[in-house]
Structure 1
Amino acid sequence: MKNWQWIVFGEDWGRHPSSTQHLMKCMINEHQVYWVNSIGLRRPKLTDAKRVIEKFKQFNNATANDFNQHNGHLAEDCKPLEILAPLAVPWPGSNIAYMINRLLLTYQARALLAKYPENKSNPRVLWLSLPTGRCVIDALEEDLVVYYAGDDFNALQGVDHKQVSIEETKLVKRADIIFAASENIARQFPKDKTHVLPHGVDLKHFSSICERPADYPDSDLVVGYYGSITSWLDFELITFLAEARPDVTFLFIGKIDIDTCPIFEYDNITHLPDMAHAELIQYAANWQVSLIPFVDNEQIRACNPLKLREYLAIGQPVVSTKYPAVMAFSESIYIADNQQQMLEKLNSALTLTNTELTQLKDKSRKMVENSTWEARCHSITTLLAKSCR
């Protein structure tokens, strides 16, 4: 299955990479990928003015130069990654917006495809990671329509749930294949065309040994977390742990995406801003424990976070609250039901001997050795090849 064309409607390329970006970075080694940035999952508000202006500036100015320059493994007849920052109406659920976007996006996507001569023998996959991309179905001469449900959009923050649900319902009916990032998400869709596709991991990168960066905390006991700092974190639990272990530095790396965040009032809780995904290993490889302090809600019960397999690849002890996705790795992860258990698990993780740490690291990495992004891509292409016969 070489040199298929992939037209991908996902989030904005270059923002914190999603599973779709990771997958397509692998796909481009053998296939031609055209990426269309997000057209939005909610109606814009006055407070979104800055983001709207940013999106408008991106129109037709998207670039993948950095990625293309650093990717030297393209098949001989594959072209570089192409990106479209589209002009579209961010109004999910609106029939008028649907018709306008069908015209706008079809025109822009066809112009993108026209940059390279088309080989009719190469099947074309329309990969939709966002339900709002459904407006181009049947307009781009695609052979397969794939819906990749990486999140439960009915529970996701920052989404017009009712309107996006309308879009998703219609997309599900039209999709040939559906991939879902977790069992909980997969249960929402027809069994006959839905397949669970858990997130993968860049095993080589996240098992690297790195020196401490200059801004790493000056502490011998660091418990770390990276990712969005928002309402899906259990702030009461975090402050409980910080009070119980004042000798430990709790490091949080990521964008603060919430109005009030009380945890940084504590002397032993520190913050570093969002950084390139590739840089995270410099910190995570050096801290003593990786932390996943999630709340228990519908969104978390449906999630399958990227950091879960990355933490396991890093090999440091992982301490987590309990939710479905983490249970598959219960042999290697310290999982807690409540605050007191979380403290006990953390204390245990911090007192492992060097021999125990080595054994845990080997066991953790073994659990994800078959979960690379390359393995996920192979599963996808194998299944889609059968569908095209």
Structure 2
Amino acid sequence: MLERYGVVYFGNDWFAENRTSSHHVAQRLAAHMPVLYVDSPGMRTPQASGRDLRRAWRKLREALRAPQRVGEGLWRCTVPQLPFRRVPGVPLFNRLFSQWALRRAMRVLGTRQRISWFVTPHPGFLARRLGERFCVYYCIDDYAAHPGVDAELIAASDLALTRAADLVFVAPPALVATKQAQNPQTRFSPHGVDARLFAQASDPATQLPAAAQGIAEPVVGYFGSIHEWIDVELIAWLAQQRPQWTFLLVGYAAIKVSALEALPNVVLAGAQPYASLPAWAKAFDVAIIPYRRNRQVENANPLKLREYLATGKPIVAVGNPEIERFASLVRIANDRDPFLAALDQSIADGPAHGAAERMAAVADQTWDRRVEDVLREVATSLAAAEMNLAARKVTE
């Protein structure tokens, strides 16, 4: 029945430095029904940095263009908003402008009935305003805990969207109970992984990137953006304790990392194409998740956890509820000395020790399977809603 529908999908920036669950889910939804992917503006107020100004200018230019086809059955458009949401008149302007722009963009979906699908809460004021038959909120984070956001406004947007949605999917296990209390139609839906892609890290045929060739071993590796919730001081301390090791960090640095840049055994590779991450991971002797312990991390479901497991590499991580579900496969250490001891043990064991078990643990947790499970729930709920509507019409 889903072939009768098209999806208006509010996700993260399509051109973001890293691929998130927002991108993975949208690409797979498009295999089942047409998807209009709407770049959602950042939750935080833009800063006067060159990067933020370039992004704002790009979004303004793209808002005037027709949706861009980025895949089979998948189009992308940008609907920018004024970020000053507490200024009188701005919320009304954002709503009216967004509705006008989306009416034009939604033409790519043809005459199909629509499903609105939100991965971020701040455009949630558009829920039920697009003529959609069904609304999905796919919650992947504790958004109000992100640094630099207006926590009160984002929390209010998150709550309103949770209550408005016909179906809520929640990736972080720590948020499930709260969301179920706010909306009984809430389902736990943990992240998936591109298991076949990341298995290339264990394939002898995979070539190391040039920048990873010839570096001193052993290699402690990390891939993903470096944001405020990454404990840069922990990484620097570890590198100072083991100057004979190489710390290879692959990803865009969104914060200052001068403490790392000053260390000769730290390699900052910068942002790299998503498809190349397994090749970088092949160089790792052990992979790390060096989180800061805070509310955001406690309520997170780290995508890189399953990606690391799919590479087969040993993992040392600061714990949270989702990571602790894999405690038999991941060395969890919440302080500096235990973290260093866990790295020592992982390197002593070698990267092949336990690799098969780690890879097997996520082999069936693919994004394809996750999206199939989600769509099964959506189809069931849609069928029930249509039956209820038909029954009401009969009794009227």
TM-score, normalised with respect to structure 2: 0.88
Q: Structure 1's 311 and 268: CA in aligned 2 closer, same or farther, altered over 3 A?
A: same
Q: Is contact 1:6-1:126 (8 Å) kept? A: yes
Out of 309, 330, 344, the position equivalent to 1:347 is 344
Q: Is contact 2:8-2:117 (8 Å) kept? A: yes
SS in 2 for 1:187: helix
Aligned to 2:36: 34
SS in 2 for 1:131: coil
Q: Does 1:176 align with 2:169?
A: no
Whichever residue aligns with residue 56 of structure 2, its letter is V
Moved more, 89-98 or 177-186: 89-98
Out of 138, 141, 145, the position equivalent to 1:155 is 145
Alignment of 1:11-50 (within 5 A): 11-15=12-16, 16-47=18-49, 48-50=52-54
Whichever residue aligns with residue 245 of structure 1, its letter is R
Aligned to 2:208: 212
Aligned to 1:54: 58
Q: Is contact 1:86-1:105 (8 Å) kept? A: yes
Q: Does 1:232 align with 2:233?
A: no
Aligned to 1:253: 250
CA distance in 2, matches of 1:113, 1:94: 29
Deviation at 1:290, TM superposition (A): 0.7
CA distance in 2, matches of 1:299, 1:61: 36
Q: Structure 1's 240 and 24: CA in aligned 2 closer, same or farther, altered over 3 A?
A: same
Aligned to 2:334: 337
Q: Is contact 1:315-1:365 (8 Å) kept? A: yes
Alignment of 1:1-389 (within 5 A): 1-3=1-3, 4-15=5-16, 16-47=18-49, 48-61=52-65, 65=69, 67-68=70-71, 80-92=73-85, 96-119=89-112, 123-191=113-181, 192-208=184-200, 209=203, 210-217=206-213, 218-259=215-256, 261-352=258-349, 357-358=351-352, 360-389=354-383
CA distance in 2, matches of 1:9, 1:246: 45
Deviation at 1:326, TM superposition (A): 0.8
Q: Is contact 1:179-1:196 (8 Å) kept? A: yes
Q: Structure 1's 359 and 272: CA in aligned 2 closer, same or farther, altered over 3 A?
A: closer
CA distance in 2, matches of 1:212, 1:62: 40
Deviation at 1:375, TM superposition (A): 1.1
Deviation at 1:377, TM superposition (A): 0.4
Whichever residue aligns with residue 150 of structure 1, its letter is I
Aligned to 1:77: none
CA distance in 2, matches of 1:359, 1:41: 42
Deviation at 1:301, TM superposition (A): 0.6
Q: Is contact 1:223-1:250 (8 Å) kept? A: yes
Whichever residue aligns with residue 382 of structure 1, its letter is R
Aligned positions, number: 372
Q: Is contact 1:211-1:286 (8 Å) kept? A: no
What 5-or-longer segments of structure 1 have no aligned partner? Answer: 69-73, 75-79
SS in 2 for 1:251: strand
CA distance in 2, matches of 1:138, 1:155: 26
What 5-or-longer segments of structure 2 have no aligned partner? Answer: 384-396
Per-residue CA deviation, residues 314-347 of structure 1 (Å, 9 max, x unaligned), is 0011111222211111111111132221111111
Deviation at 1:298, TM superposition (A): 0.8
SS in 2 for 1:132: coil
Deviation at 1:244, TM superposition (A): 2.2
SS in 2 for 1:147: strand
Q: Structure 1's 44 and 337: CA in aligned 2 closer, same or farther, altered over 3 A?
A: closer
SS in 1 for 2:248: strand
SS in 2 for 1:88: coil
Q: Is contact 1:264-1:271 (8 Å) kept? A: yes
Q: CA RMSD in A?
A: 2.1
Whichever residue aligns with residue 358 of structure 2, its letter is S
Aligned to 2:387: none
CA distance in 1, matches of 2:68, 2:152: 34
CA distance in 1, matches of 2:331, 2:46: 41
Whichever residue aligns with residue 175 of structure 2, its letter is I
Aligned to 2:394: none
Moved more, 184-193 or 378-387: 184-193
Q: Structure 1's 112 and 169: CA in aligned 2 closer, same or farther, altered over 3 A?
A: same
Aligned to 1:71: none
Whichever residue aligns with residue 77 of structure 2, its letter is L
Whichever residue aligns with residue 54 of structure 1, its letter is R
Q: Is contact 2:117-2:137 (8 Å) kept? A: yes
Whichever residue aligns with residue 296 of structure 1, its letter is R
Whichever residue aligns with residue 136 of structure 2, its letter is V
Identity %: 28
